[in-house]
């Protein structure tokens, strides 16, 4: 199965999670918002346990949709430059 953002899937090993909507794909994992309200990252080595699901079975919670849309920028670290001393 090829995963793309917006696809609805289910995890064959855990029925309690319900259906999930793929919200992000990275090189080694996929971030999926499940109907139980929890966002989970599934490693690419476990993509074989994900199955296509009927989009009508995905029931997002209001709070989980807000959390999925919120992007929190990372704080940048300042570079420390050590002073140079000329020795004559």
What is the reported pTM? 0.67
Residue 88 covered by a domain: no
What tokens appear for 55 in the block? 């989009």
Q: What is the pLDDT of residue 59?
A: 87
Backbone angles phi, psi at 19, to 5 degrees: -80, 155
Domain that holds residue 27: 8-69
Share above pLDDT 70 across residues of the chain, in percent, rounded to a whole number: 83
Reported as a single tens digit per residue, the pLDDT across 24-46 is 999 899 999 999 889 999 999 99
Domain count, the chain: 1
Residue 34 covered by a domain: yes
Instruction: Name the average pLDDT for the chain.
Output: 83
For residue 40, list its beta bridge partners: 32
Q: Positive or negative CA dihedral for 25, 56, 71, 50?
A: negative
Reported as a single tens digit per residue, the pLDDT across 46-66 is 999 999 999 999 987 765 555
């Amino acid at each position: 199965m090829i995963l793309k953002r917006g696809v609805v899937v289910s995890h064959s090993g855990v029925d309690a999670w319900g259906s999930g909507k793929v919200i992000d794909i990275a090189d080694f994992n996929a971030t999926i918002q499940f109907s139980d309200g929890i966002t989970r990252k599934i490693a690419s080595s476990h993509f074989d346990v994900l199955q296509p699901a009927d989009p009508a079975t995905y029931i997002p919670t209001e709070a989980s949709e807000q959390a999925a849309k919120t992007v929190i920028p990372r704080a940048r670290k300042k570079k420390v430059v050590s002073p140079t001393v000329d020795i004559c």
